[in-house]
A and B are shown apart, each in its own frame.
With several copies, the nearest count.
Chain A
C-alpha cells in the first residue's frame, strides 16, 4: 500500500472501509477512559470543579486550529498537485473544524462566566478564535454556494491558504493590541506546570478528540466521494438523454 494507491478514490474507499470500524472503536474506548479520568480528577484549589471544563475545552481549541492546518495542506494539494482527494479532504474537514471551533467558544464562554464573571470578553485569544470560526463558516458557505466541486475547490483553496497566513497575524496583532490598551484581565492557569492529576485526563481527552477527528474526517471524505459519484452519474444520465 503506497501513497499512490491511496490517491485512487476507489482504493481509498475500500481501504477506509476496513480501517474505519477500528478507528471508531479506538475513539470510543479512549473517550470513555478520558471521561472517566476527568470525572475522577480532583478539584482545583482555585477553580474548584470548573476545572473539569478544561478537559473538553482545551482539546476542542487545539483541534479548531489543527483542522485549519489540515485544510491548508489539502489546499496545497489542490493548487499545486491538483490532487482530487485533496479537494475532498478540504471540503470534508470544514464542517468538522467549524464544530470544534464552536465547541471551543461555547465551553470557553461557559468557563469564563464562573471564572471571569462574563461570558464574553474581547480578549486576544477569544477574538482570534471567533475570527477563526467566522472563516470556517465563510468557507463552508463557499463550498455550499457553488455546485461545481472542482471550481469551488480552487476558490476554497486560495481562501484557505490566505486565511492560514492571516490567522497568525490576527492572533499576533490582537495580542499586541490588547497589551497596548489595557492589561489583559485574563486569568490563565498557564500551560506551564500543570499537575499530573489534570495533565493525564487532559492528554487522554486530547488524543481521544484527535482520533474522533480522524474518524469523522475519513467518514466525511467517503461521503464526499460518493456524492461526487452521484453527481457525475446524474450528469452523465443527462448527457445520455440528450444524445
Chain B
C-alpha cells in the first residue's frame, strides 16, 4: 500500500524552535479534581518525566496535552509550530492500550497507522526492523506477547515523524534489550529537536527533567 520511505530533507523538527507550554492547568475527572494550577514548559530537545503516585494524574496530564481531555482551566500550547495546529496533531500518543487490531498482521497494523497518520514518514518495514519485529511481520497482532505489542506501538513512533511524543509508561513490558532500544530511539528523537513528555515510575534511561504531580492514592 505505502511503498517506500518518504524522506524529505526538510525536517519540521529542525526548522522550528518548538516549545510546549502548559499554564495553570486544572484537571477534573468524574467530578473530582485531580490536580490544579499545574504549569510546565519544555523546549525542543528536552524530555519531561512526569512522576507521582498511582492516581496522581500523570496519564490525565498526557491526555490533556493530547487533547483527549479538556482542561477545566488553563491552556496548553505548542509555541513555534509552523501552522498553528493544536498540539494533538503534532503529537504521538503511546498509551496503555496498544491501538492494534488482533485480526490484522503486524505489518498491516503498522501500515494502517502509517497511512492514516500521514505527514512525514519513514517506511514501515524499516520501522519494524528498528524495533526488532521484522521476522514476525506476517503474524496476526493477536499472537504477539505483551512486549512485542509494545514494540509494535513503538514502531509507529519511528514510522511516522511527529515532534512531540506523549508516552505513558512506555517501557512497561519491554525486556532489557527493548528498554535500551527505546532509550536510543528517544535520544535520536531529542537530538533531532523533538520533545518528549513521559509518565513513568521507572527510569527511562535518558536525561530528563522531572515534573512531580502531588496527589494521592
Contact = CB atoms under 8 A, between A and B. Distances in A.
Q: Are A and B in contact, CB atoms below 8 Å, in the complex? A: yes
Interface of A: 147-148, 231-232, 235-236, 238-239, 241-243
B101 to A, nearest CB: 15
Interface string B1-33: 000000000000000000000000000001111
A241 B31 contact: no
A16 B139 CA distance: 34
B174 interface: no
B136 A242 contact: yes
Interface of B: 30-33, 55, 135-136, 138-140, 215-217
Contacts of A238: 32, 135-136, 138-139
Contacts, number: 27
A33 to B, nearest CB: 45
A239 B140 contact: no
B135 A241 contact: yes
A241 B132 CA distance: 12
Nearest to B29: A148
B37 to A, nearest CB: 15
Nearest to A151: B30
Contact of B140 (A147, A235, A236, A243): A147
Among B30, B31, B215, B217, the most chain A Cβ lie within 10 Å of the Cβ of B31
A204 to B, nearest CB: 45
A239 B30 contact: no
B30 A148 contact: yes
Given A148-B31, A231-B31, A235-B32, A242 B140 contact: no
B135 A242 contact: yes
Contacts of A235: 30-32
Nearest to A149: B31
Interface centre among A235, A236, A242 (most CB of B within 10 A): A242
Given A231-B31, A239-B32, 8 more contacts: A232-B31, A235-B30, A238-B32, A238-B136, A239-B33, A241-B135, A242-B217, A243-B215
Contacts of B217: 242
A21 to B, nearest CB: 32
B216 A243 contact: yes
A93 B32 CA distance: 27
A242 B144 CA distance: 14
Contacts of A231: 31
25 contacts: A147-B30, A147-B140, A148-B30, A148-B31, A231-B31, A232-B31, A235-B30, A235-B31, A236-B32, A236-B33, A238-B135, A238-B136, A238-B138, A238-B139, A239-B32, A239-B33, A241-B135, A242-B55, A242-B135, A242-B136, A242-B215, A242-B216, A242-B217, A243-B215, A243-B216
